[in-house]
Amino acid sequence: MVSRKISLGYAAGSVGTGAFAVLPGLVLAYYLTDSLGVGALLAAVVVVIPKAIDVLINPLIGIRSDRDAGLTGRRTQLMSLGAVAIVPLFVLTFCAPPGITPGFAALWVLVFYSLAAVAYGCFQVPYIALPAELTPDYHARTELISTRVAVLAMTILVVGAGAPAIRDALGGGAVGYATMATATAVPIGVGMAIAILVPGRAAARVPDPALPVVTHHPRDGYQALKNNWHFRILLSVYVIQALATAVMLAGAQYLATYVLDDDAALTPLFVSLVGPALLTMPLWRRVGRRFGKQRSLVIASVLFLTASLSLALAIATPGTWVFVPVAACGIGYAGMQIFPLAMLPDVIDEQSAHVGRDQGGALSGLWTAGETLGLAAGPGVYLLVLAGSGFVSSTSGEVADQPQSALVGISAGFSLLPAGLIAVSLAVLSLYRRQEQAK
């Protein structure tokens, strides 16, 4: 078992990762299209490119993390670098100078968001690899991850509801977005620092000088992706589900503004999504022990799929009733977060045993690359739906009148698109054949 101190210390890292992931996913596209006047198609490019860069470099970060672990016995060097760099870069992403052209504004956001995403990868990749080193126990890993996801859900709730409220209280615009970003950057840095100081050190091992130095290759992760069926299936499922949830997050602000006719409805939408996820975390732990991780993931995914399908009714009959199926999506979302992350350390052990050397960083590098691509592609895909449906962009202080086709696109992108993606992920998950434990 893992001590409470280590479990909570590890979970603290999700304050940093959750805040960084949720706020850009929630407001960055809206910041570009409705504050900086950037067209929806160009905004889609801006939000996707930084994560596409991560797809290329995160596997290399994972290899470097494995080398650090082999030479020094710990993975904290890269984690520290990422934690220090991400704070100012995150703030600058939302500090485009007032009065600049939409094209230059898009370039500003692209540069600083790309650099922030690289810093995030330096922390996140070794952070994801830690559970395999903190405990070998099958169910203890579920407990460790469930605590982390509980903190993640709380972070998403507080940041997702509170940060836009800070922006709105200051009237939006340059001051509102800059203050919002600064207020969010503080917990990002603090959460990451705690994860470095507590579980990062606890996972450290004393290298044996009598053993030869193991060479880690940049191709390790890709070899695992090619040769390890379980890793390939699990990663595919996680990326598709990350894409589905990111699409829904990106659409929340648009649904609130243009379908529910209330900018402030974003906060109760977020509370409806994340609050139930936080409250049902103990239930998912019991479900995992009863049915095993894979079957529990299926249960969570089906719940999310069913609830998101019902949200399609908002196309014809928008109203506050949408908060109920959104809450059901939140319950499913909690399980969709816990079980893939709890299954990953088991697959890391399998791959490490197969090749005879630590593969935690290599696999977590690809895992994080896939996750970040899915999270970034979500807003990009949603923006493509808006562009295709005739959405009209605007500058700060304006709310453009939207054609009916755009309103349909906003609602369908928020409901039918995530449902379809979850259906695809369930088809892929059915191919997972690793023996799971349940009791």
Q: What is the pLDDT of residues 153-199, one digit of tens each?
A: 888 888 887 898 899 899 888 999 999 999 999 999 999 999 998 87
Q: Which residues contact 102 (CB under 8 A, 6 or more apart)?
A: 36, 37, 38, 39, 42
Return the pLDDT at 252.
86
Helix (H) / strand (E) containing 33: helix 29-34
Spatial CA neighbour of 200 closest among 403, 344, 12, 48: 12
pLDDT band at 361 (very low <50, low <70, confident <90, very high): confident
| Residue 140: inside a domain | yes
Q: Which two tokens mark 149?
A: 């996801």
What letter represents residue 408's amino acid? V
- Confidence at 365, pLDDT banded by 50, 70, 90: confident
pLDDT of 332 reads 94
* Residue 165 counted as domain residue: yes
Secondary structure (DSSP) of 101-163: -HHHHHHHHHHHHHHHHHHHHHHHHHHHHHHHHH---HHHHHHHHHHHHHHHHHHHHHHHHHH
Q: Which pLDDT does position 53 carry in this prediction?
A: 86
Among the listed residues 422, 51, 414, the one whose alpha carbon sits nearest the alpha carbon of residue 247: 414
Residue 399 is predicted with a pLDDT of 67
Residue-wise pLDDT for 79-91, tens only, equals: 999 999 999 999 9
Sign of the dihedral defined by the CA atoms of residues 61, 64, 70, 74, in that order: negative
Q: pLDDT band at 212, cuts 50/70/90?
A: very low
Whether the Cβ atoms of residue 66 and residue 368 lie closer than 8 Å to each other: no
Query: pLDDT category, 257, cuts 50, 70, 90?
Result: confident
Residue 356 lies in a domain: yes
Amino acid, single-letter form, for residue 148: R
Q: Residue 438 falls within a domain, yes or no?
A: no
The two structure tokens encoding residue 402 = 């939207």
Give domain status of residue 13, yes or no. Answer: yes
Amino acid at 407: L
Does the structure show a pLDDT above 90 at 393? no
Q: What local confidence, expressed as pLDDT, does residue 66 receive? A: 80
**pLDDT of amino acid 182:** 96
CA torsion angle 409 413 414 415 (round to 10): 110
Specify the pLDDT at position 221.
62
**Mean model confidence pLDDT for the chain:** 84
Query: What is the domain range of residue 152?
Result: 4-204+219-429
Counting the structural domains of the chain, the total is: 1
CB atoms within 10 A of CB 315: 17
- Residue 136 in domain: yes
Q: Which of 396, 415, 365, 113 is nearest to 247 (CA)?
A: 415
218 — pLDDT class (breaks 50, 70, 90): low
Any residues with CB less than 8 A from the CB of 268 and at least 6 apart, and which?
323
pLDDT value for 203 = 55
Question: How high is the pLDDT of residue 1?
Answer: 66
* Among candidate residues 197, 203, 207, 204, the one with its CA nearest the CA of residue 80: 197
Confirm whether 211 is domain-assigned: no
Asked if pLDDT for residue 414 goes beyond 70, the answer is yes
Tell me the sheet residues that pair with 36.
395
Predicted pLDDT at 282:
82
Share of the chain above pLDDT 90, in %: 32
Residue 257 lies in a domain: yes
Say which range, 151-160, 353-362, 365-374, has the weakest mean pLDDT: 353-362
Which domain CATH number covers 28?
1.20.1250.20
